[in-house]
Amino acid sequence: MKLYLLPLLAILIGFTSCNRNDEDAYDYKDGEFFYLENKGAVMPVWVVGNVESGIFIITNHGGPGYDSGMNFHTATESFQQLEKEYALVYWDQRMAGSSKGNPSLEDLTIEQHVEDLEKLVTLIEHKYAPKSMFMYGHSWGGGLSILYMGKDENQSKFNGWIDEDGAIQDKYEMELKREWIVPRAEAKYEATGDKKWKEVIQWWEDHPNPNESMDEPYQHVRMLEGYIYDKETSDALHNNSVFEQRFLASYSFGWLHNQYEDFNFMAHYDFMPRAKNITIPTLLIWGKEDGAVPVAVSDTVYSLVNTPIEDKFKVQLDECAHAPHWEKPYIWTDEVRAFIEEYK
């Protein structure tokens, strides 16, 4: 789930965000921009698109802490296409993107993220009185949406749930990562003799029980192109590259705060019990080559949710890794649109 940025990029972000060439596309003059305040965090919210439709999609970005919900709009054609028909709600979670405030480290918990999302939903209901709502999450955001949907009666507010390459359980995903990483590293080492691949293999031998607080598994996934299957091809589908998207949403330095150095609050997460509580229409969409949250997770989530079989759908895309909305934008948009039209 983790996304990494070098400290140098953080400096450049502050510069480039003030020097955009396409203000019409990348400022916030369209739609409505405001903040959600909760327990010390001041979290930006951007509602943009066809508000008049009455159909709202609440999005949840990945990370946690290393991403911005605004990137869904600024960097991808897929979400911009959906905005023509529906209202999209983008927000930055606490200590992520351009969030502000002075939140306590004691409040940096998984359940606090759920509470923040609950308050966001309430705020959207109060401001807009939507005719229908859909919950969407990508990567960690998928896990967050599971926790929200599976709690109390939260899912009753929504017409459907969309999970894209979403997290489900730390231990299970790490075992799948091992199965995904080690054979590929072995093949690379055999083909090239490069010692870095031997080091990857050795790391997994030395760490029989890795968890989410460790950076190395995600570094290995990135080395093996488990985030983006074909960067050159997917970049060509958008106005900017997957690298450039980091500069198109406003960022603060909040995500560099020391609580994210070891990710202890995310270690040993398990969202499976909450997934079993979900009964509303469900769309799971995954890249078959995802190394961060391997495609087998989608099979497991499909089995866990108690949505009637006629109302749950699983789409697994060839030549696609951790970001179908980026790598396969036309297919992704068609699948999401069809799901929303069916259950709106």
Domain residue extents for the chain: 7-169+231-343, 170-227
In our burial notation (b when 16+ CB lie closer than 10 A, e otherwise), range 208-246 reads eebbbebeebbebbbbbebbbbebeebbeebbbebeebb
Contact 60, 144 (CB under 8 A): yes
* pLDDT computed for residue 77 by the predictor: 85
Q: Where are the alpha helices (DSSP H) in the chain?
A: 7-16, 23-26, 71-75, 77-83, 110-128, 140-149, 170-192, 195-206, 216-223, 231-235, 272-275, 296-304, 324-327, 329-343
* pLDDT computed for residue 293 by the predictor: 97
**pLDDT tens column, 205-222:** 999 999 888 889 999 999
From the CB of residue 343, how many other CB atoms can be counted at a distance below 10 Å? 17
User: Is pTM, for the whole model, over 0.85?
Assistant: yes
* pLDDT computed for residue 30 by the predictor: 85
* pLDDT computed for residue 74 by the predictor: 76
From the CB of residue 306, how many other CB atoms can be counted at a distance below 10 Å? 13
> Among 308, 280, 18, which residue's Cα sits nearest to residue 156?
280
In our burial notation (b when 16+ CB lie closer than 10 A, e otherwise), range 90-119 reads bbbbbbbbbbbbebeeebbeeebbbebbbe
Below-50 pLDDT ranges, the chain: 3-26, 242-243, 245, 247-249, 251-255, 257-262
* pLDDT computed for residue 167 by the predictor: 97
**CATH (residue range 7-169+231-343):** 3.40.50.1820
Q: Where are the alpha helices (DSSP H) in 214-343?
A: 216-223, 231-235, 272-275, 296-304, 324-327, 329-343
* pLDDT computed for residue 138 by the predictor: 97
Q: Using a pLDDT cut of 90, give the percent of the chain over it.
A: 70
